[in-house]
A and B are shown apart, each in its own frame.
Chain A
Amino acid sequence: MIVIYSIKILWLLLKTQIRSQTQYRLSFLADVFTTAIFSSIYFLAFALILQRFETVAGWTLGEIAFLVGMTETSFAFMDLLFSGFDPDSFSPMVRMGSLDQFMVRPVSLTIQVLGSRLILRRLGRVLEGLAVLAFGIVTTQPDWTWLKTFYLPVVLVCQVICMGSIFMMGSTITFWTVERIEAVNILTYGGNELMSYPMNIYPRWLLFIFTYFVPFIFVNFYPTLYFLDKPDPLNFPVFAPFLTPLVAIGMALAAYWFWGYGLRHYQSTGT
């Protein structure tokens, strides 16, 4: 019952956000459009540089587009859904004490933070990600088995969960620091960038960190190897592409625990 109630509240909160942001339809559409164009600049530049180099570490433009499209789509969707947990907007809530107001309301705090903000123009980036992914699929023509078809949306959902967990943890840190920590960008925007290219191009030590500490390597690189039937340059066990859900669950649990821990130790700034 409480779950259904929470979802209802969340939907209500989000609906007000959507309504207010789409009041001026033309301005809203222009905003979505410019966001899409802006987000595609980096992929565009990469497509241009490949005109000189043709491939990177044995990957063609279409294959890279698959990688980029996956992580862009899920990162952008996460960025949209978790707008409230964006450290950029969460940190001011802690500083100004508006989080304290949430605490006296009889609704789960997590729901309220999620519902506090929904930056709809980020839809533009979702569209950009989907367009790049579509381009990747069309040019690479993967050999679709039923397992692959089933696994693709699973991976996308897992990616959203992984990135959302990082966002939540980044926001939780602001309970202690008040100011947002720019270094969190390394894991959010940096993670997105990191996963946009075949990960065997990175230095060993970096790969080690993103395999055993923050296991991003199983979130996009390995599933993509599986979807495109590419040989594994790092010789991991054959089940490596299927670790994605496990990583997502692990990161979600860690984030949820840390968020709860942060809340229990939360001290208002007094403003």
Chain B
Amino acid sequence: MQAFLKIVGISARQQMTYRTALVAGLFTNLFFGILRASLLIALYQGETSVNGMDVGGAITYVALSQAMIAYLTIFGNTEMGRTVSDGSIASDLIKPVHFILLWLGRDLGRSLVNFVVRGLFFIGLFSLFYSLYFPTGVGRWFLFVISLIFSWLLNFFWRMLVNLGAFWSPDIQGFARLAFGFSQLFSGFVLPLRLLPDWFSRLSNWTPFPGMMNHPMEIYLGIYSPSQLLGAFGHQLVWLFILVFLCLVLFRLGIRRLVIQGG
């Protein structure tokens, strides 16, 4: 546990080092956020509410999803996959922490910094341009935070699963790009799932992706009824189990194939 916390701390400090990059990222998120909000406002023209979401809700949805880009690493990365290709995975495998836990720690440290700098600061900046909804009850905040933690875990294990592909293929870049593209679409990051056709959101509910973004956002906005709320948490939990299981199995299988060349 102590080792794990140490990893988290080091990773957080590492992330804090690149302050200009953090600020630049913040402004890029802000610019794209304004574009996305403008598009939704233009779409809503004259409509008060579409499928249970009003324009204020849609803007808040955009704000939150932009704020969570860095925290959830929504565009994905192939950092771990690269350590397989270049062999530096060897030094990670001899560490006294389980390999997946090691990366979980690294990701957590970075995400915590991003949550504050590119998440909370972003919401502050964005609310200078648009008025956002904020839940009033403590209960809803609580449910939102729980769901957000689950969505972080889902995102992490999804990324890990894609990266584990590196044990089987020397170049996973193309495959990973496509995989992360699909997760952006089906998670409701590109556009809120509620505003897409019903058949599409039903389809996406068969994948783990809505739990990575759409569920926490709708819980925040208070759109879900109590039974839908239960369903959303159930969906997140079930998929979390499945993804963790798949990651552990693939890691076991992959590690047996791993050959690291010396030199």
Contact = CB atoms under 8 A, between A and B. Distances in A.
Contacts of A37: 178, 181
Interface string A170-184: 000000000101110
Contact of B185 (A34, A45, A121, A190): A45
B96 interface: no
A46 B39 CA distance: 10
A251 B61 CA distance: 36
Given A30-B174, A206-B34, A56 B39 contact: yes
A194 B35 CA distance: 7
B181 A38 contact: yes
A46 B190 CA distance: 9
B245 interface: no
Interface string B1-30: 000000000000000000011001101100
B258 interface: no
Tell me whether chain A's interface is mostly helix, strand or loop, or mixed.
helix
B102 to A, nearest CB: 27
Tell me whether chain B's interface is mostly helix, strand or loop, or mixed.
helix
Interface residues of B, number: 36
B191 A48 contact: yes
Interface stretch (A147-155, A196-204, A257-265): A196-204
B177 A186 contact: no
A185 interface: yes
Interface string A214-233: 00000000000000000000
Interface in A206-248: 206
Interface residues of A, number: 35
Contacts of A42: 190
Contacts, number: 91
Given A30-B174, A56-B42, A202 B35 contact: yes
B39 A201 contact: yes
A51 interface: yes
Contacts of A183: 24, 27-28
Given A41-B185, A52-B197, A190-B32, A181 B24 contact: yes
29 contacts: A34-B178, A35-B174, A35-B177, A37-B178, A37-B181, A38-B181, A41-B190, A45-B190, A45-B196, A46-B191, A48-B196, A51-B196, A52-B51, A53-B44, A53-B50, A53-B195, A56-B39, A56-B43, A56-B45, A182-B25, A183-B28, A185-B28, A186-B27, A186-B28, A190-B28, A190-B35, A198-B42, A201-B38, A201-B41
Interface of B: 20-21, 24-25, 27-28, 31-32, 34-35, 38-39, 41-45, 47, 50-51, 129, 171, 174-175, 177-178, 181-182, 184-185, 190-191, 195-197, 200
